[in-house]
Chain A
Amino acid sequence: MKFFQSIGAKTLAKLSTAGRAALMLFGALVAVPKFKNVSLTIRQVYVVGVQSLLIIIVSGLFIGMVMALQGYTILVDYGAEGSLGPMVALSLLRELGPVVTALLFAGRAGSALTAEIGLMKATEQLSSMEMMAVDPLRRVVAPRFWAGMISMPMLALIFSAVGILGGHMVGVDWLGVDAGSYWSIMQSTVEWDKDVLNGVIKSLVFALVVTWIAIFKGYDSIPTSEGISKATTETVVFSSLAVLGLDFVLTALMFGIE
């Protein structure tokens, strides 16, 4: 009997958490955009986007390099090393760009968002804002949410671009694949709407999920050092799992049925 009770209690708790998360997002998004909030959003784009650039560029470069190396050793056996360009570009644009960017974003920016909002809650900054008749959902949460939505697709595209250059460095400059075929076959294979646009859509979905989880975990955290540490961990774990799971669903929808 207790077992069933605990199942019920846990389900109710999960449902009410989901409800709170939805209400928070709704509260942040119905905000009438003010000019003031635009400048706040731009500042957050700098914090979550620009400051994530280094990790994104370095990771993109190395992933592109590794893919070229691995791809070359396989393709060369079939004399197909000319197809290295499209292989690197397609894997990056369709999968690795959006997915790895989202995972890195969750670790770099998502955890920081959770910790920042959680600490603002713990030090009563959110509460005092409310008492000053300023809605923290609009002043604190909304700009961070939009900053995530704006930054993530751009970061994913930068990741893919740098990865393609990394592939070029290893494949063409080091292993001797013909530069002309690297670029021209890539150009003729990669399609704008099917590959590039789908990748951007993917990273928009990931941006929504990762930023939402990050700000909600901070906003809903228990305002103690233990609570914030737990919330930060959960942000990274939950958003990574959500990204990987959603990636499968999105890939199946976009590329599964021809």
Chain B
Amino acid sequence: MSQQKHCQSGIPTFSENHSWTVVLIVMDNLVEVDNMTFRRVDRVIYEGISLKVPKGKITAVMGPSGIGKTTLLKLIGGQLLPEEGDIRFDGESIPDMSRSKLYHTRRRMSMLFQSGALFTDMSVYDNVAFPLKEHTKLSDDVISTIVSLKLQAVGLRGAAQLMPSELSGGMARRAALARAIALDPDLIMYDEPFAGQDPISMGVLVKLIRELNDALDLTSIVVTHDVTEVLTIADYIYILADKRVIGEGTADEIRNSDSELVQQFLKGEADGPVPFHYPAESLSSSLLGGAE
């Protein structure tokens, strides 16, 4: 509604400059992380981090492992609470939500876990039907149709009756993806979707993430450290390191970034701003210290 209004008011006085402003106003953010600080026990994970996830786009969050990328997704999902700052989903603050409001909001978001996190005591069919059975009052026939369609979308309709233990890693992740889109969410968060996949499953997942995002009008957040795959599908990229955002932009902007840290990450160099050695006293003093 608001989009139309802006467009209509923007068109009559059309000029190159003006149309750009209109686009900016129209572009809404589904998730906004605002100056957020989070720590685990004594270790600071994020310090005053801010990022925005625009509606309908694929936003990638990259960074070295152990930086707390999964933690970021759990913070957006309200499973963890930030110490300072705010996280907003569609304009509403997640940390301030009551429990029932949070559970209600979570129906609009879904998360694809790294392991897939399929329920091991249920078949693929029951896994995909699970959120539908829990949250809707649809008849079994309707649920069966929806599940078939979702499984068809990820290419696993023939595997509906298999148990999760009978699936390969790539298939498990696709089954979990079918479950994640079962309720037609607004936001889907992928936690390391490419980790440990063979080239074919990787290609399948890249294709699925892009196609589902466009076909279902989703907003996607992809957390990963697989540089090549992400640069091909992401509309906007954030690179995290050292508790903050060290680089952001479109794929081209990131490729041409002049930050040493970003370049080290993209090229996969062993040593650089992120040192090869875990902090320690120098080797010579450690060896001499042992001799004394």
Contact = CB atoms under 8 A, between A and B. Distances in A.
Contacts of A124: 113-115, 117
B106 A132 contact: yes
Contacts of A128: 111, 113, 117, 176
A135 B103 contact: yes
Given A124-B117, A125-B117, A131 B111 contact: yes
A123 interface: yes
B168 interface: no
Contact of B104 (A123, A130, A133): A133
A251 interface: no
A133 B135 contact: yes
Given A123-B120, A125-B120, A131 B109 contact: yes
A130 B99 CA distance: 12
B115 A131 contact: no
A36 B131 CA distance: 13
A132 B131 contact: yes
Interface of A: 36, 123-125, 127-128, 130-135, 139
Given A124-B115, A125-B119, A125-B120, A131 B77 contact: yes
A206 B88 CA distance: 46
Contacts of B183: 132
Contacts of A134: 130-131, 134
B120 A131 contact: no
Interface string B89-119: 0000000000000011011011101110111
A89 B119 CA distance: 45
Among B104, B109, B117, residue most surrounded by chain A Cβ atoms (within 10 Å): B117
Nearest to A139: B134
Closest 3 CB pairs of A and B: A128-B117, A133-B106, A124-B117
Contacts of B77: 130-131
A127 B79 contact: yes
A134 B176 CA distance: 16
A123 B117 contact: yes
A131 B106 contact: yes
14 contacts: A124-B114, A125-B117, A125-B119, A125-B120, A127-B79, A130-B106, A131-B106, A131-B110, A132-B106, A132-B131, A133-B104, A133-B107, A133-B135, A134-B134
A132 B120 contact: no
A118 B255 CA distance: 43
